[in-house]
Each structure stands twice: as structure tokens, then as C-alpha cells.
Structure 1
Amino acid sequence: MKKPKFYQLTKDERLATLVEQGHLSQTDADCLAAAEPLSDEIAGNMIENQIGQYQVPLGVVQDLLVNQQVYQVPFAIEEPSVIAAANNAAKMARANGGFVTEQLTRLMTGEVVLEKLVDLVAAKAWISGNNDHLFEVARAAHPSIVKRGGGLQKITPTIIDDRFLKLELQIDTKEAMGANIVNTICEAIAHAVQEQLGGTLLLSVLTNAAFESVVIASVTIDPATLTTATLAGKTIAEKMIAASDFAKVDVARAATHNKGIMNGIDAVVLATGNDWRAIEAGVHSYAAKKGAYQPLSSWEWTTDQQLRGRIELPLPVGMVGGSIGILPTVQINQRLLKVQNARELAGIIAAVGLAQNFAALKALVSDGIQKGHMALQAKSLAIAAGATETELTQLLPLLLKATHLNTATATELLAQLRAENK
């Protein structure tokens, strides 16, 4: 008898497989199997007005090859086809050598803004001439991050609109995403500057436009490996490149192009306890940083006629801080990933984004996006209609043959099935 594939196993069988392969400890597997919610004490202290907990499925993308290391990547997501697409892309990329990533800098940015200054030019000059003093203020504001080798790295003063004086602070937050670190340093410097220059302090806070935390991921694919029963691999590759080019000149396509990328990125960011809202804000601002909204990834031919994909985006994720140390499942997911630091995690997430983009473009230019979605969408509709696990086996083939795949059809077919089974 043929051994079932991972996605065909039950949840308990999948967990047992991950334990057997050494990706999860038995303790962590038991914790995931129990699926216990947070205690009311923890949940109530994490947010205000807590009234319950909202459950999102947790899955895994297997054997993602990044920088010659294989990872089991946790996804927290409700959309049916995302993990299936990422798994397929990971498999194809692995057969072609996997993903390669790099991150040149990993700094967070804060902004201190003053207005109503008597002399903007003189104020800017004072900032440039008093860096030593301001760096000392920053060290005193957050000495613990300095002890860990981080802290303020650079101050850049700029006059904006002949009205505002902005101080851009580049801060090394080490293994934390660092919002609190940045905000603490910003506020300390803001008060020191205002005390000297006067004017009105407008704001002192981090920006989610984390353009000093950009990650690049790339993958090279032999077109022959793209071949399907109906299309040559070279044809698919050419159409993927054309679709990528179209996204550069059509903002409507660029938005959907990037949304597909964020399907996977958000899922991993959420699973690892990071702030997906901050990541979304930073990524989309980066896509528009040249004044026109652009796709985050691109595809092209190499000189030796290979298909090469590349993605570039800011990913200021952390390994500590915030909810990361509070949520047990986040800690399990870190152990499942076996990541050592925030840079490594950011590289994996960038590779995931490129994998999702690869899967989406390949589907769009070959079989169409709906083919891969239909079976999973049918299952969701059947469950929403109230089908039991036993009824799903009978109902899904009927749904997939139906003219209209919607809730009404699922409800009607389920009623007919139950009538026949009486």
C-alpha cells in the first residue's frame, strides 16, 4: 500500500511524523495536540476588554531550503490554499537548489520632529555638531540595549517643508523588533533637543517604514522543471516574466501581486509572534518608496536562460519581546523552525514570500488560479454547511461537479445526501 502524503494524514499522525523526524519534541507535540487556549489571566493581561480567544489554524510548510539549510515553517492562516501552494513552491525550489537570502543591515528607525523653531538651519547645525551629547542621552535612556551591543547608531537631521526639523535615528535593537526600545530613545532625545532649541515637540516615535531592515531573497529555476502536461516549461517561464513585468506598469495588478506574497509572510509573522500589521505597513510603504506602487518581486531570464526570481522588502521581525515570550505556541514554533536569530528568521520569511509569488504566478499563467483553489474551497463550504467528517467524503465529489460552487449549493447537496442515507 502506498504511503500517504503528509497532507493526507490526520493531525495526530502529522504531529507524530514531525516528532519522528526530529522537528518537534514529544512535549511540544502534546501541547499542540491539546490545543489549549491561553488562560484568562494571560489573555486578559495582553489586551484590554478581553472577551474570548479567536482561533486560527496552524500548519507547516515542509522542507523549505534557504541558504542550504532545510526548515519546517509554521503558518498561522485561515485561507485554504496558501500552505498547499507554498509546499509546492518549496518542493520545486528545493529541486533547483533552494532560496538564497541576504540582509545587509538590520536597524530600526525612529523620528523626532519639532516645529516652530526660530531658525531651522541653525537648529539643524546644532544637531550635527552635538552628536556626542545626543548619543550619551540615548545610552542613558536604554543602557540594557547598549550592553547587548545595540542602541543608537546614527542621527540624521533634515528640514522638511521649510517648517519641520526631523531627526532620523537609526537604532540597533538586536534580537527584538524593538518598538519600545526605539520609542524610549526617541523620547529621551526629543526632550534633550527641545530643551536646547526650544520650539514645539510634535512627535517622537518609531516609523514602520523600516528601510534599514531590508531582506533580499532569490531563487533560480530551470525552466524544464516547470513543464506541465499541456505547456512547455519555457513557455510558462516566459509568461511568468511577462506577468511580473505587467505588475510594474499596472498598480491594480501590483496590489494583487503583493497580496499573494503577503499571504505567506503574514502567516509566518503571526505564527512567530511578530507584528504583522507593522510588517504590512513597512512592506507596502517600501513598494511605493519611489513614488509609484511597485511589485515587491520580479522575474527575469539569466544569461544562461534560467528563470530567476528576486524579492526585496523590509522585515523587522524579532525573536524576543512583545508577545513572543508570552505565547506558548510561538515558542513551540520557534523550536520547530530551529532559528538562531532574527536575521535568519527574516531570511526565511522573505523566502516564503518569494515562494508564494512563484506559486501564484505559475498557477496564473498555466492552469489558472481557480484550479488549485477549488478542492480546498469546496471543503470549506462543506464544513460551513455543517457536513461531518464522514459526510465530507461523499459531499466533496458532488460539490466539485456542481455548476455553482457556493454555500447554497453545499447546503442543498448535503440535504440531498442526508435524505439518501436515511
Structure 2
Amino acid sequence: MIDPISGFSKLTKEQKITWLSKTYLNNSRESEEVLRQYWNENPQLQTLHDEFTENTLSNFYLPFGIAPNFLINGNLYAIPMAIEESSVIAAASKAAKYWFTRGGFNVEVLNTTKVGQVHFTYKGNLEKLERFFEICKPTLLKEVRGITKNMEKRGGGVLDIELRNKTGLMENYFQLHCKFETKDSMGANFINSCLEKFAETLRLEANSYAEFTSEEKNIEVIMSILSNFVPECIVRAEVSCPVNELADEKQEDAAGFAEKFLTAIKIAEVEPYRAVTHNKGIMNGIDAVVLATGNDFRAVEAGVHAYASRNSSYSSLTHASVENGTFKFWMEIPLALGTVGGLTNLHPLVKVALEILQKPSAKTLMEIVAVAGLAQNFAAIRSLVTTGIQQGHMKMHLMNILNQQNASKEEKNELLDYFRHHTVTHSSVADKLEHMRGLNAVK
């Protein structure tokens, strides 16, 4: 049995690796070297990476790529993406090129309101609590002015505070439901600081409120925390064109394609098993841009999937229609993003990503990210209802298979050419490579 270790965080990086190797890796020099080889040669940059989190051993790299030719509201963008999955950037790029000649993407931020809550319990008369809140609300807002002053200069701040009665869900449960505008900042630290000050003020004011009995004064704050469910922080992205313009060199039957496309979307709207995979494809595009721009993809994922379930059943985030001969494909999605603060000011690649995007505001970044998701979904559905998903995906995955088989540069070139005209599967690649090597051995 392995004994627990004390003071691990105080060890140097080398000491951490030595302990890990001895305790879990059977003193594997190879594993130790793998950890070290991903250290950045620039000591200053490595120190910066070390300080992003705790107990750092090494760096975990993702490919940083670009998807060009996105025409968004009349402006041309090349979108940076950080992702390891084969075919995502290729698919996004193809969708961008496809819609470039059909008017591009139109996108609009509908709202940017974010939410945080103070959760508390109260045992007493409801009417008293409601009167107390109305009296207390100006004080709550006054007490956070020191926190909100700079945000208010940028046009943000606290938008509203509501008292919400949640006793129908849980006995004695109430909350302060608070709305915020954080402008170009994602705003997590700002919101949480405001909420904790609200909680402190709520307790103090309740303790001195004359109408409350001694038990009613004892409001117990359970927690104060922002919500990653932001159904009012919404961006809408769409593409549209006459149905006959859907045709191209690969798809001649535009009307038939449109009909199958709409049916595929309808299936994702009504069938949760399909909707989960459908929306995962959307998030391939969204997460890749969110990561590249230093935003919190876990928060975005949680909020998006909650939004997809808002009508009591998990459903598609995208929708499509054909009306009066016009095909339209669109999505409304909640996105809480920032372009200042956090990693946006620290990570060198994040800075480059934002420069590539022409240093966007948070609203503009919301638009770009939503378009990346819509493009990814269009490319996926287009493949599914025509050639099938595996043809394009497995060709992009071919290089990964060749690397797993330790193929040489010459072998890769020959097999890349061969599989331009043959179906890619793991076994077909392995068999073809084995056959090639056998022939070469005979020579």
C-alpha cells in the first residue's frame, strides 16, 4: 500500500517527478524524460506556465491551428483553434469556404447579462422577509460600490438584485438572484466578490432589522457563487441562401439535400440520444476557439448543455428551415466570454490568438465563437446526409494511425497517396503498411 505524502506542494518540480517516478512509475527513466522534454526552453516562459496552476510537472500541449475564410457580418476572419481532434479545423474551414460564396455568416449578440446568487435559509414570516429585502436592497448596492467602481466606468456593474422564494423546492430556501454586466471581462472574480459582499451585508442588516424575531434574524448564508447558466447572455448566428444555391460540384440535388438536412436537424431536436452527439459536434468548434482565446471552456460547456435542456428535454442547439425557397440554418447559444483578465493577459499564445482576431471585444468574440460552432455543425450534418461522417474523418485521422504504426516519412507519403482513393480504417492502414514493409524486406 502506498503511503500518503506530506508537503508535496513544497517540493521542487524535479523532486515531484522523482517522487512520482519512484512511487507510481517504477522508476521509469523514459516517463521522467517525457515529462521533462515538454518543459519550455525559455525559463521565464516555463515559470509563467508553472504558476498557472498547482503541482506542475510539465506542459500538456494541444495543436494550435487556424481556420481561414470566415466571412462574419461582412468582415473576414481567420479563427484560431486549439484542439487535438482530427478533422475539426478542416471541417470548419470547408464550411467557411462554402458559406463565403453564399453571403457568409450573420450574427448578433442579443444580450450579455450574467448571473450570480446568494443562497440562504430563512425560518420566519415571508412577508417580513420581503419587506426587509426592499428596505435592504439599496444598502446591498451601496456596500459593493468599492468593488463595482471600475467596472461601472467601463459601462458594467450590478444590473439588479431579486429576492427569490425557493421553498417550493426545499424547505426554508431563498436566494438573492443577481444580474451583472461585465463588459469585456468574463467577470467571475468580479461577480463572486460582489456576491460575498451581498452575503455579508445581508447577514448584518438582518441582525439589526427591528421587525425580525431573534430566530428570523439568524439568516444563514449557505454559499455565494456565480452561475455558469447564462440564458440571458445570448448570441444568435445564422446562414441563409436560396435553396438552389446549396448545390455545388459535390452536391447537384440542392432540394434533396435541403430536405435531408432539415430532417437530420429535426431528429436532433426530438431525439436526445442524437442531440447529445449533435451538440458535441457544435462544441468541437466552440471549445477550440474558447481554449485558444484563454476562456473557460468548462463553464461554457456547462452553460450550453443546461440551455439545451431548458425545455425539460435535451435537444438540438441548431435549427433549420426552408421558407419561400430560402434555406436558413441558425443557432442561439449562451456564451459568457472575456477578452481582458485571466489568461488573456498572461498566456503568450492567447495574446496572439486575440491579435489574429483583431483584438475583439467580448461581444465580437461571442459572435466569432458562435459562428465556429455553427460552421462545425453544418459541416458535420452535410457529411452525414451525403458521404457519411467516416470518409472525411478517417482520412484526417490517417496521420494519427500512421504515427501509431511508427511509419517512416517515405511510408507516410506513399500511404497518404494510396488512401486518397481507398477507405481508411485502422486495420486497412495497418495491413497495407505491413504488406509494404514485407515487399521492401524482400527487396
Please give the range of the TM-score, normalised by the shorter of the 2 chains: 0.7 to 0.9
Q: Is the Cα–Cα contact under 8 Å of residues 148 and 158 in structure 2 kept in the other structure?
A: no
Counterpart position of 1:420: 439
Counterpart position of 1:199: 219
Do residues 73 (structure 1) and 82 (structure 2) align?
no
Counterpart position of 1:294: 315
Q: Is the Cα–Cα contact under 8 Å of residues 87 and 392 in structure 2 kept in the other structure?
A: yes
Do residues 90 (structure 1) and 96 (structure 2) align?
yes
Counterpart pick for 2:348 among 318, 328, 339: 328
Q: What 5-or-longer segments of structure 2 have no aligned partner?
A: 1-39, 207-217
Counterpart position of 2:286: 265
Q: In structure 1, how many angstroms separate the alpha carbons of the residues matched to 2:43 and 2:333?
A: 33
Question: Deviation of residue 373 (structure 1)?
Answer: 1.1
Q: In structure 2, how many angstroms separate the alpha carbons of the residues matched to 1:184 and 1:98?
A: 41
Q: In structure 2, how many angstroms separate the alpha carbons of the residues matched to 1:110 and 1:118?
A: 24
Amino acid at match of 2:111: T
Residue deviations 1:140-196 (CA, integer Å, cap 9, x gap): 234322232211111111100342111111111111101100000000001111222
Counterpart position of 2:28: none
Counterpart position of 1:214: 234
Q: TM-score, normalised by structure 2?
A: 0.82
**Matches of residues 16-35 of structure 1 in structure 2 within 5 Å?**
none
Question: Deviation of residue 67 (structure 1)?
Answer: 0.7
Counterpart position of 1:63: 69
Question: Deviation of residue 117 (structure 1)?
Answer: 3.2
Q: In structure 1, how many angstroms separate the alpha carbons of the residues matched to 2:383 and 2:99?
A: 15
Q: In structure 2, how many angstroms separate the alpha carbons of the residues matched to 1:321 and 1:158?
A: 31
Q: 1:418 to 1:39 in 2, by over 3 A?
A: farther
Counterpart position of 1:384: 404
Amino acid at match of 2:60: Y
* Structure 1 SS opposite 2:342: coil
Amino acid at match of 1:324: T
Counterpart pick for 1:168 among 177, 183, 190: 177
Residue deviations 1:351-393 (CA, integer Å, cap 9, x gap): 1111111111111111111111121122210112112333211
Counterpart position of 2:195: 186
Counterpart position of 2:259: 238
Counterpart position of 1:101: 107
Q: Is the Cα–Cα contact under 8 Å of residues 138 and 151 in structure 1 kept in the other structure?
A: no
The worse-fitting range, judged by mean Cα deviation, of 126-135 and 56-65 is 126-135
Counterpart position of 2:425: 405
**Matches of residues 340-351 of structure 1 in structure 2 within 5 Å?**
340-351=360-371
Counterpart position of 2:8: none
Residue deviations 1:263-308 (CA, integer Å, cap 9, x gap): 1000000000000000000100111112111111100013x31110
Q: 1:256 to 1:384 in 2, by over 3 A?
A: same
Question: Deviation of residue 401 (structure 1)?
Answer: 7.0
Residue deviations 1:54-79 (CA, integer Å, cap 9, x gap): 11111111110111111110011111
Q: In structure 1, how many angstroms separate the alpha carbons of the residues matched to 2:310 and 2:250?
A: 41
* Structure 1 SS opposite 2:425: coil
Q: 1:278 to 1:50 in 2, by over 3 A?
A: same
Q: In structure 2, how many angstroms separate the alpha carbons of the residues matched to 1:95 and 1:342?
A: 27
Q: Is the Cα–Cα contact under 8 Å of residues 260 and 357 in structure 1 kept in the other structure?
A: yes
* Structure 1 SS opposite 2:59: coil
Q: In structure 1, how many angstroms separate the alpha carbons of the residues matched to 2:398 and 2:379?
A: 20
Q: 1:403 to 1:226 in 2, by over 3 A?
A: closer
Q: In structure 1, how many angstroms separate the alpha carbons of the residues matched to 2:282 and 2:276?
A: 10
* Structure 2 SS opposite 1:117: coil
Q: Is the Cα–Cα contact under 8 Å of residues 120 and 165 in structure 1 kept in the other structure?
A: no
Do residues 366 (structure 1) and 386 (structure 2) align?
yes
Amino acid at match of 2:124: V
Q: 1:401 to 1:65 in 2, by over 3 A?
A: closer
Counterpart position of 1:152: 158
Q: In structure 2, how many angstroms separate the alpha carbons of the residues matched to 1:255 and 1:132?
A: 44
Q: Is the Cα–Cα contact under 8 Å of residues 394 and 424 in structure 2 kept in the other structure?
A: no
Q: Is the Cα–Cα contact under 8 Å of residues 210 and 282 in structure 1 kept in the other structure?
A: yes
Q: In structure 2, how many angstroms separate the alpha carbons of the residues matched to 1:95 and 1:229?
A: 15
Q: Is the Cα–Cα contact under 8 Å of residues 192 and 225 in structure 2 kept in the other structure?
A: yes
Q: In structure 2, how many angstroms separate the alpha carbons of the residues matched to 1:262 and 1:333?
A: 19
Residue deviations 1:117-159 (CA, integer Å, cap 9, x gap): 3234422332234332211122223432223221111111110
The worse-fitting range, judged by mean Cα deviation, of 66-75 and 196-205 is 196-205
The worse-fitting range, judged by mean Cα deviation, of 126-135 and 267-276 is 126-135
Q: What 5-or-longer segments of structure 1 have no aligned partner?
A: 1-33
- Write out the 4+ residue segments of structure 1 that deviate beyond 6 Å after TM superposition: 34-38, 400-404
Q: In structure 1, how many angstroms separate the alpha carbons of the residues matched to 2:239 and 2:412?
A: 38
Q: In structure 2, how many angstroms separate the alpha carbons of the residues matched to 1:295 and 1:38?
A: 45
* Structure 2 SS opposite 1:203: strand
Q: In structure 2, how many angstroms separate the alpha carbons of the residues matched to 1:292 and 1:338?
A: 39
Percent identity among equivalent residues?
A: 34
Q: In structure 2, how many angstroms separate the alpha carbons of the residues matched to 1:179 and 1:132?
A: 23
Larger radius of gyration: 2
Q: Is the Cα–Cα contact under 8 Å of residues 147 and 190 in structure 2 kept in the other structure?
A: no
